[in-house]
Structure 1
Amino acid sequence: VAEAHPPPKKRTGRKPAATDDELFAIALTAPLGRDGRVSSRHIETAVRARGLPLGRDRRDKVTRQVQAELGSGRADAA
């Protein structure tokens, strides 16, 4: 008779090394990409240069936040 094994525990991932606010501040220092647009590659490079890990989901989230911030800044300047 086979023994019943308990179901494996759900993985929750690891705790982020930086808060979203910290990532946002770092992302604002990243150079812009082509046509003055926010570059997720440049943001990822800037974050990793500070020794912080950055997953795709968080990178995409902070990229959208920075693009929205810069977009609203351009609208205010016009």
Structure 2
Amino acid sequence: EARVPPKKRTGRKPAATDDELRAIARTAPLGRDGRASSRHIETAVRACGLSIGRDRRDKITRQVQVELDSGRADAA
């Protein structure tokens, strides 16, 4: 029986890891009411010469916001 080679993955590889994107996102200015801003995060990532899609940007924004919220809870 002939073996069929596995299909190659299609699509682009992520330009950066989530950890790298989070590190960049932490340097982005905050948006309204001191919240993480997806627009500012996307601008910061692109300024580093990287690309980021909407889904990943939104995921990173949510993760950074959780960090901000937990930091505020610790300070209270």
Kindly tell me the number of residue pairs found equivalent between the two proteins. Answer: 70
Partner of 1:23: 21
Distance 2:11 2:59 in 1: 17
Identity rate, percent: 87
Match of 1:68 in 2: 66
CA distance in 2: counterparts of 1:42 and 1:12, whole angstroms: 30
Q: TM-score when scaled to structure 2?
A: 0.86
Q: Which stretches in structure 2 are left out of the alignment for 5+ residues? A: 1-6
Q: For each residue in 1:14-46, what CA deviation from the matched residue of structure 2 results, as whole angstroms up to 9, or x when unmatched?
A: 100100000000000000011111100000000
Q: Where does the alignment leave 5 or more consecutive residues of structure 1 unmatched? A: 1-8
Distance in 2 between residues matched to 1:13 and 1:73, nearest whole Å: 37
- The one-letter amino acid paired with 2:63 is Q
1:42-66 per-residue CA deviation (whole Å, 9 max, x = no partner) reads 0000000000000000000000000
User: 4+ residue runs of structure 1 moved beyond 6 angstroms?
Assistant: none
Structure with max Cα Rg: 1
